[in-house]
Chains A and B, each alone.
Chain A
Amino acid sequence: MFRKKKNKFFEILIEWMLRLSGSATTIIILLISIFLFTEGWGLFKSSTVEKGYVLCINKENKIKNLTPEQIKEIFDGNITSWKEVGGDDIPIEPMRMDEVIGMFSEEEIGSDFEHLPERLSDVTAEHKGILGFFPEQFIDIKFKGKVLPAETISPKDYFGGKEWFPTATPAAQFGILPLLLGTLWVSLGAILLALPFGLAVAIYLAELANPTVRKILKPVIELLAGIPSVVYGFFGLIVIVPMIRNVFNLPVGETALAGSIVLAIMALPTIITVAEDSMRNTPLAMKESSLALGATHWQTIYHVIIPYASSGIMAAVVLGIGRAIGETMAVLMVTGNAAVIPHTFTEPVRTIPATIAAELGEASVGSVQYQALFMLGAILFILTLIISIWAEVIRKEPHAE
C-alpha cells in the first residue's frame, strides 16, 4: 500500500537537477560581483604617480608629499609657488626628463644616457624650486635631491576628487565626483520628465481608455521596452540633440538634458506598465464604495485609486530610476561625454556607465585606469542594488496608512 514506487527516482533526479542549476546560477552571479570588487580594489594600492616614475624635489624643500590633484595643477601651470602647497615662497619649476636632456649636449649625457643620472642629480640640486618628474631607473644612490615618497591613491581622492583624467601625466586624476553627479543628474532629469507623462498614461489606460484601445495600447507600450537602447540613442542624436541646440541656442546639443529626454522615453514603458498594473489592482469594492458616496470618477481616481496604488507608483519610479542609472549606450551617444561637474541641464555630462563603455577598450589590463573603471562598475552595481532593494521594499508595503 504505502510502498515507494520506482518512478520516484526520476522525480528525485529532476529535483536535484533543478536545485543544482539554481545554485549554479546564484554562485555565478555572486562570483561576478566578487570579481568586480577584487579587480577594482587594486586601485587603492596603486601609486598616485605614473608607474616607473618618481617625483623629485630639492633637498632643502620641506614638502613631504603632494596629492594627485596638486601634482596635476603644478604641471598644468595653475600652481606656481611652493607656498600654495604648504612650502616656502619659491616659484615651482616643474621639469620632465626631456627638458633636462635639452639643457645639455649629447656628450654630457652620453650616448647610452650613462651620465644622465648625474645630470638629473645636478639639476635637482641647483634648482631650489624644482619638481622633477623622472624615470625611476635614472635615479641612483648618489642622487642629491629628495625623492617624494610614493603615495597610494586614497579613497578620498577617488570618491571626493573633482576631476576625472585617467591618462594625465605625471599624475592621473581619478575623481569620480563628476561622473557620479553626471549619472544622478541625468537620471533625476529623466525621472522628472517621465513621471508626469508615465502617470498620465497609466491613469488613462487603467481608468479612462475603452477596452479596445487598452488592448492595443498596452502591448505596444510594453513592446517599447524591448527596443535596443542604441536605437533610442540614434533617435536622440538625430532628433533631440539638434532640437536642444536650436531651442536653447547652444553651441552643441549634446547635453545632460538630451540624455534625460532619451532616458525618460526609455523609462516610460516601465513606469507606465508597473503603475498601471497597480492601479488596476485597486479592488472594485474600493472604487464602488467611493462612487456610491457620490464621488465623481476623477475624485475616485484622485482620492482612492492613486493612494491605493501609491506603493506601486513609487516602485515604478524607483524602477525607472534604476533603468536610467544603468543605461549606457543611449546616454553615451547624446550627453557629450565631458567629465565635468554639471551645473545646469544644458551642459555636457558623462555618466558612470558611459565612462566604462568608452574607456575600458583602451585601458590596458591591470593598469590603474583599468582598476579605476572596475571600481566604477562596482559602484554602479551597489547603486542599482540599493535601488532594486528599495523598489522591492516599497512594493511590499501594506496599503493601510
Chain B
Amino acid sequence: MKLEAKNVNFFYGDFHALKDINMKIESNTVTAFIGPSGCGKSTFLRLFNRMNDLIADTHLDGECMLGDTNIYDKSISVDELRKTVGMVFQKPNPFPKSIFENVAYGLRINGERSKSVIEDTVETSLRQAALWEEVKDKLKKSAYALSGGQQQRLCIARALAVNPSVILMDEPASALDPISTSKIEELIFELKNHYTVVIVTHNMQQAARVSDKTGFFMLGELIEYDDTKKIFLNPEKEQTQNYITGRFG
C-alpha cells in the first residue's frame, strides 16, 4: 500500500474542490487520473507532495497516507516528503542552468559534495529518463538548447536524481508533439519497475496505454476508480461511459 487518501475534502477558500475522496494506490503501478478540466484531478495529485501548501487560503480535511504515515501530520518535514514524492509538471520547466546542473540540482541542495557521486547519479538519472545518449556530449550546454520533449525528459531525470519512490506527473505530455509523447509514455512504462507513478492526463488513449488503474473525476468527485481495462471497456457508471466515449467533457 503506497498511497492512500482517506475521506479527503479540499477547499480553495469557500470553493469545495475535492469531495470526500477515498483511494488506494499500490506501489509499482501506474495510476491515471482522467476527467474534464476543473474536475480536481490536478489538485488531488498535488496533495501527495503538498504542493497545494503554496497556494494561500486552502484547506484540507481527511488524511493522505504515504505508507503508514499521514503526510499532513504536524511532525512531517515538507522538504523531506518532496524528496520521496517527486513531481513532473505540465510544461517542461528546466532551470536556467546547464543540462548537468539541472539534474545535479536535487543532489546539491541535499548537500551532496562528492563529485563522483554527483556525476554517477546524473548519468544514471539521464539514462533512466532515456536522455543520456542524446545529451552526453553537451552536458555543459544550457538546458534551454534542448527541444521541448527533451526538456521534459530532463525534468523527469531531475526528479529521479533525488531518488524518490513516488513520481507524480501532471499532464507531462500535453505540451509535446506525438513523437515526444510516445517517448515519454515508453518511459513511464519503464519507470513502473522502480517507482509508483501517478499521472494526470487529458488524453484518454494515453491513460489506456500506460496505466494499470484509472480514476475518473468529475466536479470534485471520484466517480469511478478501477482497473484501466475495466474503466475503458466496461465502466460501471454512466458518467464514465459518457466521458470516455466522448459524449461530453
Query: A residues touching B (Cβ–Cβ < 8 Å)?
Result: 211, 283, 285-286, 288-296, 299, 303-304, 307-308, 399-401
Contact = CB atoms under 8 A, between A and B. Distances in A.
Given A303-B105, A400-B142, A293 B158 contact: yes
B109 interface: yes
Interface string B91-122: 10101111000000110111000000000000
Given A293-B158, A294-B83, A401-B142, A285 B109 contact: no
Nearest to A307: B96
B179 interface: no
B109 A293 contact: yes
B162 A289 contact: no
B144 interface: yes
A288 B105 contact: no
Contacts of B145: 400
B91 A290 contact: no
Contacts, number: 75
B17 interface: no
A294 B106 contact: yes
A293 B86 contact: yes
Nearest to A289: B93
Contact of B54 (A288, A293, A294, A400): A288
B76 interface: no
A292 B160 CA distance: 12
Nearest to B91: A285
Given A303-B105, A308-B96, A293 B51 contact: no
B80 interface: yes
B201 interface: no
Nearest to B110: A294
Contacts of A296: 79, 109
B87 interface: yes
Contact of A291 (B51, B80, B108): B51
Contact of B155 (A289, A294, A303, A307): A289
A308 B93 CA distance: 13
Contact of A290 (B56, B86, B95): B95
Nearest to B84: A294
A299 B51 contact: no
B196 interface: no
Nearest to B90: A285
Contact of A400 (B49, B86, B144, B155): B144
B79 A295 contact: yes
Nearest to B94: A289
